[in-house]
Structure 1
Amino acid sequence: MKRYSTIQNQDEVNHLFQVFFDYVRLLTAIPQSDQDYCRQLFEPVYAPKNTLLETQGTVHKYHNFIVSGFIRNYHLDGKQREVTIDINDGPRFFTSYNHFVHQTVSNENLHCITDCKLLRISRENVSKARDVGITSQEYSEKMLQYYVESSKQRMIDLTTLTAKERYLKLMHNRPTIIKNVPLIYIASYLGINPGSLSRIRQEI
């Protein structure tokens, strides 16, 4: 298991935070005081390909903001096969959300599919941000709403769309995943047999 390292270059750190602040502004304004506070609470890290940021059987310690790279969230089924629950690239927060919020033992793994640059914040510092920051509570509420709605939509898609329709929707909405993520992970995420997905791709 490869390990991450703290990013030291100040220009690169500034870029990571600029991407983060621009992302937050899509949902709510963020005053300079909150920006300065975020720089104290978030750690800029580099995680090489195949790093497991968090593992099953542990209480996940960090909420990760993806600046660049691709990460998946997966668990093992009864036959010890990997089931990909979510795949994403930046900019976006990414974690085993319910387990992180409630600090319960997770059955999920966070796997860097590619090299990744992240800003990560501990559960303790999330609480500090909520208590001190002007932006944090409003942003957290909106992010939770987005998480619930996207999870609901994913369940609807899995039960109402055909395999081909699910792939076409992913290809249309998130083409970078199609281009950068191995087929086996995409097939698992879409609930499609890899062989069937290969045939669908040939048809398209």
Structure 2
Amino acid sequence: MKNLETITSEQQVNSLFQSFFDYVRHLVDIPESDQEECKKIFEPVFVKKGTIIEQEGTVHKYHNFIVSGHMRNFHHDENGNEVTTDINSGPRFFTSYYHFINQTVSNENLHCITDCELLRITKKNVDKASHIGLTSQEYTEKVLHFHLESSKQRIIDFTTLSGKERYIKLMKAHPSIVQNVPLIYIASYLGLNPGSLSRIRQELS
């Protein structure tokens, strides 16, 4: 099996888009006309576990919506060590957002930790949607606001919470991440070394 394959099953494609539209409705109503347009410009794909779908040192081609699976965003520090800056599961958009929108070279990697089902869209089609979609501009603004607020909260957590408190917060908010993502990635995301996180897990168990 290839690392990335276009999903062609009509039943599966409809299910993917239904998950996407349900997610969008949490932020803004999406009329039928916009739903039909989305089906034309988003590509449904299956990505195999372990695949890096966008690499550092490149201009990222796609804005990705996770329908199912777990992904992480990471870069390398000055010593060449991987630093995980975001981990998430579906449903949610997951992209090197700033670099994608501005089409600049990214220092980030998007890594499928597990098998993933994604809906992805090119920058060209994002721009097209902004001109013809009734809800796309409003939705884009709300997504950007969400990203900014999430980044702000992450900074606050690092300055006000202990490592143990950060892990407990993640465990309560995203139990599937704790259950499906390797400890080494979670530790990096929380700013801990794997040994410290392992001790915290043992204390909590």
Tell me, yes or no, whether TM beats 0.5.
Answer: yes
State, as a whole percentage, how many aligned pairs show the same letter: 67
Inter-partner Cα distance in structure 1 for 2:162 and 2:46: 38
Partner in structure 2 of residue 173 of structure 1: 173
* Aligned amino acid, residue 6 of structure 1: T
Q: Secondary structure at the match of 1:192?
A: coil
* Aligned amino acid, residue 74 of structure 2: Y
Give the deviation of 1:160 after TM superposition: 1.4
What does 1:65-80 correspond to in 2, within 5 Å? 65-80=65-80
User: What is the TM-score normalised by the length of structure 1?
Assistant: 0.98
Partner in structure 1 of residue 33 of structure 2: 33
Q: Which stretches of structure 1, 4 residues or longer, exceed 2 Å deviation after superposition?
A: none
Superposed CA deviations along residues 65-88 of structure 1, whole A, max 9, x for unmatched, are 000000000000111110000000
Pairing 1:120–2:120 present: yes
The root-mean-square deviation of aligned C-alpha atoms, in Å, is: 0.7
Q: Secondary structure at the match of 2:93?
A: strand
Partner in structure 2 of residue 163 of structure 1: 163
Inter-partner Cα distance in structure 2 for 1:56 and 1:142: 26
Inter-partner Cα distance in structure 2 for 1:16 and 1:93: 13
- Equivalenced residue count is 203
Inter-partner Cα distance in structure 2 for 1:171 and 1:18: 27
Inter-partner Cα distance in structure 1 for 2:8 and 2:142: 31
* Aligned amino acid, residue 131 of structure 1: H
Q: Secondary structure at the match of 1:198?
A: helix
* Aligned amino acid, residue 102 of structure 2: H
Q: Secondary structure at the match of 1:121?
A: strand
Inter-partner Cα distance in structure 2 for 1:58 and 1:200: 37
What does 1:54-133 correspond to in 2, within 5 Å? 54-133=54-133
Structure 1 runs not aligned, ≥5 long: none
* Aligned amino acid, residue 179 of structure 1: Q
Give the deviation of 1:45 after TM superposition: 0.2
Q: Secondary structure at the match of 1:134?
A: coil
Inter-partner Cα distance in structure 2 for 1:106 and 1:158: 24
Inter-partner Cα distance in structure 1 for 2:30 and 2:36: 10
Superposed CA deviations along residues 133-185 of structure 1, whole A, max 9, x for unmatched, are 00100100111101100000001111211110100110111111000100000
Inter-partner Cα distance in structure 1 for 2:26 and 2:122: 23
Q: Secondary structure at the match of 1:79?
A: coil
Structure 2 runs not aligned, ≥5 long: none
Give the deviation of 1:3 after TM superposition: 2.8
